Amino acid sequence: MTSLQEVRVAGPGDGPYALAVGPDGALWFTVVHAGRIGRLVPGEGEAGSHQLDPGCGPTVIAPGPKGDGALWFTEYRAHRIGRITVAGEVAEFALPTAECGPFGIAAGPDGALWFTETAADRIGRITVDGKVTEYPLDAAGAFPSAIAAGPDGAMWFALNQGNAIGRIAMDGTVTTHPLPTEGAAPVGIAPGPDGALWFTEIGAGQIGRITVDGAITEFPLPDRAARPHAVTAGPAGGAMWFTEWGANRVGSITADGTVEVHDLPTPASEPHGIVLGPDGALWTALEIGALARVTP
């Protein structure tokens, strides 16, 4: 029996958005509207937080490459990339392209961080010492969103307005794979235990799967208006888990497409990011100011 419980970590208008597990074994999360990075050790009291520029809009957060000892995050409104150590020391790096709207970020196999620039149609790369390289995409207005490291040594990303999944090799070569469903508007993407990438189709109410050679399968959700947003791998060998932003639920999907969904305790809580926590549970960020713990 799946159980769900909420942990209050911010005010109702502060907007917890995305989560990651840090090298210290804690949950780290962005608080987008309040301009903070939060930290919670599951089962050990209240969350702490680190104040940034209140208007910077910290959005997606991810652990740095092996040995870095920090977490990296995008500042969507300030057009910067941030780094925070487990001791709370913050560094911020301005990006070469003005008003580029960085959103997704993930560590790559090359020891750097790769990120998307939603408003500039570019994929960015930043080294741990702050050197930035940008790679333009061919399509205008494609709105690259989430990004993840694939099992093939490349980075994979969702083109929300381009209605495609993209792949960028370490040398900057980009390949795109159009989606079968028109208006699917993919957002979240994550590697699965099956060697494929899984993604959410917020516009079509589907979960998608793409192999590293570009074969795409789409799985309709029971509620096509659910607005699936983020996706992550669950416990080892298990299902993928996702948030239904528009339906106030979290769900799971197995490799054969079997879907289960679970209502969140508080109505209209607006779940966004989701991650497998250090305690073996799934955690999702709720825009109402809480994190929800989901025990499969």
Per-residue pLDDT tens for 184-225?
A: 999 999 999 999 999 999 999 999 999 999 999 999 999 999
The structure tokens 């969350």 sit at 47
Q: Which two tokens stand for residue 33?
A: 């509207």
Q: Is 270 annotated as a binding residue?
A: yes
Asked if the model's pLDDT at residue 237 lies above 90, the reply is: no
Secondary structure letter of residue 152 according to DSSP: T
| CATH number corresponding to 3-295 | 2.130.10.10
Write out the two tokens for 289: 């100011």
The tens digit of pLDDT for each residue in 238-263 reads 899 999 999 999 999 999 999 999 99
pLDDT bucket at 286, cuts 50 / 70 / 90: very high
pTM: 0.97
How high is the mean pLDDT of the chain? 97
Nearest CA to 18 out of 108, 105, 111, 83 is that of 105
Who's near 87: CB < 8 A, 6+ residues apart?
none
Contact 289, 14 (CB under 8 A): yes
Q: Coil, strand or helix: which one is 251?
A: strand
SS3 of residue 2 by DSSP = coil
Q: Where are the domains positioned within the chain? A: 3-295
Q: Which residues are catalytic?
A: 272
Q: Are 56 and 36 in contact (CB under 8 A)?
A: no
Residues 96-130: tens digit of each pLDDT = 999 999 999 999 999 999 999 999 999 999 999 99
Q: What is the pLDDT of residue 46?
A: 87
Asked whether residue 229 is marked as a ligand-binding residue, the answer is yes
CA distance 22 to 30: 13
Average of per-residue pLDDT across 7-27: 97
287 among annotated binding-site residues = yes
Please enumerate in sequence order all residues whose Cβ is within 8 A of that of 6, keeping only pairs 6 or more positions apart, or say none. 264, 265, 266, 269, 286, 290, 291, 292, 293
